[in-house]
Amino acid sequence: MAQLDGVVKPKTKRSKRFLQSREPKLVEDLKNAMIMKGGNTSETVTQALKDIFALKKPNAVLYKKKNIMRPFEDSTSLEFFSKKTDSSLFLFGSHNKKRPNNLVFGRMFDFHVLDMFELGIEKFKSLKDIKNDKCAEGTKPMLVFAGELFDTDNELSRLRNVLTDFFRGPAVPAVRLAGLEHILHFTAADGKIYMRSYRVLLKKSGCRTPRIELEEIGPSFDFVLRRTHLASDDLYKTAHRQPKALKPKKKKNISHDAFGTKYGRLHMQKQNLDKLQTRKMKGLRKRGGAVVTENGEPTSPKKARTRE
Amino acid sequence: MAACSVEDVLAKAEREEAEKLKSITVTKELELEFDVGNLLALDKNPAVLRDPHRDREELLRALARDNAQLLVNEIWKLPAERADDVLVVKLPEPSTRLPREKPPPKARPPTKWEQFAKLKGIQKKKKTNLVWDEVHKEWRRRWGYKRAKDDTKEWLIEVPETADPNEDQFAKRNKAKKERVAKNEFNRLRNIARATKTKVPGMGLAPRAQQSKNELAQAISVAKTATASVGKFQERLPKEKGPKNTGKKRKFQPLLGDFSSEKQKQLELLKVMESKRPRVDMTKAVNKQIREEEEEEGRARRSKGVGKKGRRGKGNAAGGKGKGKGSKGPKGPKGGKGRNPRMKQGKR
């Protein structure tokens, strides 16, 4: 691709398609995630990263090599990587004496860091440890957040937003009822956040809605919230700005009355009631003396015609 | 007795209903908040995980089960359709507001023609794909390969009265077409530049991710000389070196300075002018000549590959002229040590 100081002009159809897929779009879907390791990682952290990569499988990249960077101090490296892989979510794992088993969940807007949350892993059970049948890769999980802290606490509600963004699957218009297999459950209690992942078994109940039984699969984490970096209010608002084209167009001239009848107004030009075309009723036609008009259309003034 | 039995029956039916629903009802203090579009549920009840009797995992699992049951109840309330033998529910719009990934796309600014057309009220007319070609008596496409009225494929062009009889009309047509194509391309790129609003700044000023030492030095020097006094009074950092090649181009000795060195220089000059030996370094001159010839050949070969094969006559003459000029360069008298310059090769 010919490069001109940052403006890349595609020379083939394939490269053009590639560039178009990276352009900003009106309706955005699924964000990609990049999962990377820091300068020093422990066994727990690497296994945790691998497990979360498995949860987010087709839409994530897992970097094998270590990247020495500190997200909270200097985010330029992160931004560079995010631009390269076109991912706006990232997960950075590291381990040192001060912050053991550290995971940083974050998201970007326009390839600049929006929010970052540092979570420390206190207890971790990996996918391998739990020996059960796992769900298929790429199933859209159900997400449940329990605990009033997720609503009242400012940081935790933002964390809830970030986790929703991270773990929700593609936005689908319809979902198969039998395919609701996976559920991720987050509980905020006692200053910790417990993340559990279950497989949903739909059992017969007396009525149409099935009874749910859960079977634990997948990674289970006990997180503790360490540092956070929340976006400023105006940056957050800018990130939420939707293009005008997406706003639903309001249909004008439709009104409803108390009974639910739909009304619309029809605007007519001024009508000349003398020359109005009405229905022809054969029986009402005047017979005999008066001249009969076939239709009431405006005629030349010379011929006088009587109206029916 | 009948009344009792009716009441009994009703009560029994009610109990059975309750039994059925018992398996899927969950009682909570506060109702959950649902975002069915995202398959999301938020439980605001305070989570109690400090039960001495039960294990924490058990408590978590029970809590998860209850919440999952409530969420599934919500999902099952939606209207279900049958698509290909499978039950499918249509999900509503997600209600959680999540930030975008990138800012919304900006509309492309209209091109010069689009602005003009809007001003004049010119509508776009839909044209047919194929046009009838009288010459070939068939339907051909409007433009492109094997088009209907192809100017360039004519074998006969009348020389107009006002034109020079020796002028090549075919070449003239081709040149005109090339100019039109180039103009079109230029306008297209200008439209793109206007759309992207990028002004290409000078060297060293548009920073890239990794800049080499030279580029950084260039940028520094450009910034330094960008003052009103062209950088004359800008201080240098303690260890910074002066500009390498960007200082003064020529340095003159002071007029009345070193008399002895001036005398030396003048005498040397006279000696050189008197001597019979040539001042030309033979090897250097010959190598330079060879390189020039090779470059010329390479250029001619490249242009021959690109240009038309039929116009050999014109091309040759032009090539010959160019080559002739090039060969009459620094050709000094043939020295003994230097290599004989190669014989001028004809156009291959």
What would the pLDDT profile of A190-202 be if each residue is shown by its tens digit? 888 999 999 998 8
> Residue B330: what pLDDT?
46
For residue A169, name the pLDDT band (cuts at 50, 70, 90).
Answer: confident
A114 at B interface, C-beta within 8 A: yes
Task: Decide if pLDDT at B183 tops 90.
Answer: yes
Adjacent-strand bridge partners of A91 = A35, A105
pLDDT of residue A102 exceeding 50, the answer is: yes
> In sequence order, what DSSP letters do the residues of B111-176 get, joined into one string?
PHHHHHHHHHTPPPPP--SEEEETTTTEEEESSSTTBSS-GGG-S--PPPTTS-TTS-HHHHHHHH
Confirm or reject contact between A87 and chain B (CB < 8 A): no
Is residue A280 within 8 A of residue A295, CB to CB? The reply is yes
The rounded percent of chain B whose pLDDT value lies above 90 is 8
pLDDT in tens, B260-317: 988 999 999 999 888 877 777 888 889 999 988 888 888 888 777 655 454 444 444 4
* Nearest CB to B100 within list A109, A176, A205: A109
Residue of A nearest to B44 (CA): A148
For residue A305, the model assigns a pLDDT of 52
Q: Model-level pTM?
A: 0.61
Average pLDDT over residues A200-213: 84
Cα dist from A217 to A198, B31, B88, whole Å? 5, 27, 25
Residue B46 three-state SS: coil
CB pairs under 8 A between A and B: 196
Give the minimum alpha-carbon distance from B21 to chain A in angstroms, rounded to a whole number: 7
Q: What is the pLDDT of residue B318?
A: 42
Which one is predicted more confidently, A297 or A10? A10
* B166: phi then psi, degrees, rounded to nearest 5: -90, 0
Nearest to B89 among A88, A177, A242 (CB): A177
Res. B329: pLDDT tops 60: no
Q: Do A164 and B98 touch (CB under 8 A)?
A: yes
Give the chain B residue nearest A190 (alpha carbons).
B49
Residue A225 has pLDDT above 80, yes or no: yes
Mean pLDDT highest for which of A22-26, B1-5, B47-51? A22-26
Name which of B87, B101, B39 is nearest A140 in CA terms: B39
Q: Please name the residues between 161 and 190 in chain A that touch chain B, using a CB distance below 8 Å.
A: 161, 164-165, 168, 171-178, 180, 183, 185, 187-190
User: What are the residues whose beta carbons fall under 8 Å from the beta carbon of B194, sequence distance 6 or more?
Assistant: B109, B111
Nearest-angstrom CA–CA distance, B261 and B245: 26
pLDDT tens per residue across span A130-146: 888 888 888 889 999 99
What residues of A are in contact with residue B107 (Cβ under 8 Å)? none
